[in-house]
Amino acid sequence: MPRDTGGLARTVELLWGVSTSRGTRGPRPGLSVEAITRAALAIADAEGIGAVSMQRVAKDLDYTTMSLYNYVPSKDQLIELMIDAATPPPPVPDDGDDWRDGVERWVRATWDLYHAHRWVLKVPTVNVPIGPNQMAWFEALLHALSRGGLEGAEVMAIAQHILASTRGQAALSIDLTTEQDGTTAEFSEALRKLATPDRFPTLHGLLTAAEPGGFDAGAELYAGLRLGVRLLLDGVEGHVRPGA
Amino acid sequence: MPRDTGGLARTVELLWGVSTSRGTRGPRPGLSVEAITRAALAIADAEGIGAVSMQRVAKDLDYTTMSLYNYVPSKDQLIELMIDAATPPPPVPDDGDDWRDGVERWVRATWDLYHAHRWVLKVPTVNVPIGPNQMAWFEALLHALSRGGLEGAEVMAIAQHILASTRGQAALSIDLTTEQDGTTAEFSEALRKLATPDRFPTLHGLLTAAEPGGFDAGAELYAGLRLGVRLLLDGVEGHVRPGA
DNA sequence: AACGAAAAATGTATGTCATACAGAGTTTTA
DNA sequence: TAAAACTCTGTATGACATACATTTTTCGTT
């Protein structure tokens, strides 16, 4: 496989496994895109995305750094591959039950997925380039949602909305439960001190009303996400059946 | 100001402007946290966050790189400062009108803010540490939302939900309208090709149903965000007034 | 008035990183 | 059998954050 600085075409090739039709000359490749991706993924899962460097991946594979570039055109590309590799096929939809349950299950599964690979949401640009597995998850959401009776463009909009809020809440949950040592407690205490009633009356009220002891950020945020999704789906139902 | 590697206390000091009570000895400082932040912000706004390096900021200020560290304990800290500096005070709430309008105005203003500083949402951890201006915006949302009649913890949850979806949609919009040259069109075309009807029936249907020509990603995403927020607020109303 | 402490500013140095480039070795095709 | 195509290695470059030691400036104290 010739080296390539990797435009969009190459991205698509790699992510979507378009056969790379490698010429059969030259030494047989000792590595593969999959092996590299797997090694990098293992590092990220174990030590965070910050531990993933080309040198580190190569070392784990017992190759030189530069040999990776025979397979992967750049580190950014590798990260795209890692994200897609971290994403299993989405749960199969169960069209038997309520469509709302389908959406809520999707949200739960996505939440779990992001928590299983806590580095994914720390990657700066998870947005535009999308691999097959990512797309499959989005398709699953679209499918579940489309059973609710929304019109085409609305399905897309609401799906993006749900995806965005799931990501956002999950990112927050991951951040709050990742802080090393006691920084979370320390921070939440600082927050309480800074949210003075004069400048931040509403926030102050909410913070002091909440139980003062340690709170389970993860569970609380998930409950919030769930509530948000439910109310949103309520809105969807009202929108679709204006009478009822 | 003595150098400091910057724990949480220092972060809070810098972000919240707790007076640093500098001893009056030594040369008079030629720089200031504000000047450094301003210079860095200008670079980020003009050339993106990637162009912000300590060397670059120092050069723009005609100082050496290391002198910045007399004021700012680390680059990460500087970025926190930049984010807060990029955030103006939130629009004053207008309690005269419908509370829903207040929320929608907040969403619009936040959308505009992120688009005015397109680098902000590219910073990996915009999540947990919060400066005074960020907090003021969140307070504004809480305030607008609390007029809807939700119970305490619910206000917090829905506010986070709205913040998350606004951020997510804005991030997507920014990504799609930032791609250099014609990558957006190229990408959307590739997407259409990859979303085959066998594996991605729903997505395929939606993409082919949409008008095939160039579409205004920004406007479309904002419309989607708006719809999502509206339906969510519908849900909130139903939740608060179960009868009606 | 002089000295020393404190702080600002500089210069140099280190270690990490992505990646360019050249060359050496290997396999297949012409 | 020669050359083309490819893999792999080694070395090199340029960014970058930041540690550390040194110089310079200013002020409080004697």
pLDDT in tens, A24-57: 888 999 999 999 999 999 999 999 999 999 999 9
Within-domain flag for B142: yes
Same domain, B210 and B105: yes
Q: Are residues B6 and B74 in contact, defined by beta-carbon separation less than 8 angstroms?
A: yes
Closest alpha carbon to A231 in B103, B169, B59: B103
Mean pLDDT across A149-163: 95
Mean pLDDT across A1-20: 72
Last residue of a domain, one of A86, A108, A137: A86
Distance from CA of B238 to the nearest CA of A (A): 8
Write the pLDDT tens digit of every residue in A77-111. Answer: 999 999 999 999 999 888 888 999 999 999 999 99
Report the pLDDT value the prediction gives residue B4, as an integer from 0 to 100.
61
Report the pLDDT value the prediction gives residue B94, as an integer from 0 to 100.
82
Within-domain flag for A188: no
Residue B128, pLDDT > 70, answer: no
Same domain, B20 and B123: no
Report the pLDDT value the prediction gives residue B111, as an integer from 0 to 100.
98
Report the pLDDT value the prediction gives residue B2, as an integer from 0 to 100.
57
Residue A6, pLDDT > 60, answer: no
> For chain A, first and last CA: distance in Å?
61
Burial class, B241, CB count within 10 angstroms (exposed 0-12 / middle 13-18 / buried 19+)? exposed
Report the pLDDT value the prediction gives residue B214, as an integer from 0 to 100.
52
Report the pLDDT value the prediction gives residue B43, as an integer from 0 to 100.
98
CB contact under 8 A, B235 and A239: no
Distance from CA of B10 to the nearest CA of A (A): 12
Chain A, residues 89-128, CB within 8 A of chain B, namely 122-125, 127-128
Nearest-CA residue of chain B relative to A226?
B157
- Interatomic separation, CA of residue A75 and C1' of nucleotide D9, rounded (Å): 19
Report the pLDDT value the prediction gives residue B150, as an integer from 0 to 100.
95
Which of A211-215, A227-231, B17-21, B30-34 has the lowest average pLDDT?
A211-215
Residue B91, pLDDT > 70, answer: yes
Report the pLDDT value the prediction gives residue A96, as an integer from 0 to 100.
83
pLDDT band at B204 (very low <50, low <70, confident <90, very high): very high
Q: Are residues A172 and A228 in contact, defined by beta-carbon separation less than 8 angstroms?
A: no
pLDDT band at B127 (very low <50, low <70, confident <90, very high): low
CB contact under 8 A, B158 and A228: yes
Same domain, B80 and B126: no
CB contact under 8 A, A157 and B223: yes
Residue A136, pLDDT > 60, answer: yes
The CA angle B80-B82-B84, to the nearest 5 degrees, is 70
Same domain, B173 and B145: yes
Cα B243 versus chain centre, distance: 37
> What's the one-letter identity of residue A102?
G
Nearest-CA residue of chain B relative to A152?
B206
Report the pLDDT value the prediction gives residue A183, as an integer from 0 to 100.
60
* Residues of the domain holding B209: 99-240
Last residue of a domain, one of B86, B114, B144: B86
* % of residues, chain B, pLDDT over 70: 88
Mean pLDDT across A169-190: 76
* Range of A109-123, A189-203, B7-21, B115-129 with top mean pLDDT: A109-123
Report the pLDDT value the prediction gives residue B101, as an integer from 0 to 100.
96
CB within 8 Å of B82: residues ≥ 6 apart: B37, B40, B41, B44, B52
Q: Are residues B165 and B104 in contact, defined by beta-carbon separation less than 8 angstroms?
A: no
Distance from CA of A65 to the nearest CA of B (A): 24
Cα A26 versus chain centre, distance: 39
Within-domain flag for B56: yes
Question: B-chain residues within 8 Å CB-CB of A164?
Answer: 164-169, 171-172
pLDDT band at B216 (very low <50, low <70, confident <90, very high): confident
- Interatomic separation, CA of residue B72 and C1' of nucleotide D11, rounded (Å): 37
Same domain, A221 and A145: yes
Burial class, B102, CB count within 10 angstroms (exposed 0-12 / middle 13-18 / buried 19+)? buried
CATH number of the domain residue B209 falls in: 1.10.357.10
Residue A14, pLDDT > 70, answer: yes
What is the token pair recorded at B194? 């990859």
* Mean pLDDT of chain A, nearest integer: 89
Q: How many C-beta atoms lie closer than 10 Å to residue A233's C-beta? A: 22
Same domain, A151 and A233: yes
B160 touches chain A (CB under 8 A): yes
Same domain, B208 and B106: yes
Distance from CA of B4 to the nearest CA of A (A): 18
pLDDT band at A127 (very low <50, low <70, confident <90, very high): low
Question: A-chain residues within 8 Å CB-CB of B132?
Answer: 194, 199
Mean pLDDT across B19-36: 87
H-assigned helices in chain B: 8-16, 33-47, 54-61, 75-86, 99-116, 132-146, 152-176, 183-194, 201-209, 217-240
Which nucleotide is the nearest neighbour of B73, by CA and C1'?
A: D18
CATH number of the domain residue B57 falls in: 1.10.10.60
Per this entry, what is the length of chain A?
A: 244
Within-domain flag for A195: no
What is the token pair recorded at A188? 């939440």
Residue B166, pLDDT > 90, answer: yes
Last residue of a domain, one of A30, A52, A86: A86
Residue among A199, A225, A231 minimizing CB distance to B239: A231
Write the pLDDT tens digit of every residue in B139-162. Answer: 999 999 999 999 989 999 999 999
A31 touches chain B (CB under 8 A): no
In chain C, which nucleotides are within 7 Å of a protein Cβ? Answer: 4-12, 16-22, 25-29
CA separation for the pair B192, A212 (Å, rounded): 51
Q: Are residues A57 and A82 in contact, defined by beta-carbon separation less than 8 angstroms?
A: no
Mean pLDDT across B175-195: 75
Same domain, B69 and B106: no
Strand C footprint at Cβ < 7 Å? Answer: A 5, 24-28, 52-56, 65-66, 69, 74-76; B 1-2, 22-23, 25-31, 63-67, 70
Write the pLDDT tens digit of every residue in B33-85. Answer: 999 999 999 999 999 999 999 999 999 999 999 999 999 999 999 999 999 99
- Interatomic separation, CA of residue B75 and C1' of nucleotide C14, rounded (Å): 18
CA separation for the pair B86, B126 (Å, rounded): 13
Residues 108-167 of B with CB under 7 A from strand D: none
Residue B181, pLDDT > 80, answer: no
Write the pLDDT tens digit of every residue in A191-229. Answer: 888 999 999 999 999 998 876 555 677 888 999 999 999
Same domain, A34 and A145: no
Within-domain flag for B209: yes
Same domain, B127 and B183: yes
Q: Are residues A69 and A3 in contact, defined by beta-carbon separation less than 8 angstroms?
A: yes
Question: A-chain residues within 8 Å CB-CB of B234?
Answer: 234-235, 238-239
Same domain, A12 and A126: no
Within-domain flag for B3: no
The CA angle A213-A184-B131, to the nearest 5 degrees, is 110
Same domain, A140 and A63: no
Report the pLDDT value the prediction gives residue A231, as an integer from 0 to 100.
98
CB contact under 8 A, B136 and A171: no
Our count of domains for chain B comes to: 2
Within-domain flag for A184: no
A146 touches chain B (CB under 8 A): yes
Report the pLDDT value the prediction gives residue A5, as an integer from 0 to 100.
57
CB contact under 8 A, B210 and A153: yes
Q: What is the ipTM of this complex?
A: 0.91
Closest alpha carbon to A159 in A181, A139, A142, A180: A142
- The reply to whether the CB atom of residue B64 sits less than 7 A from any atom in nucleic acid chain D is no
Within-domain flag for B177: yes
Question: A-chain residues within 8 Å CB-CB of B175?
Answer: 125, 127-128
B185 touches chain A (CB under 8 A): no
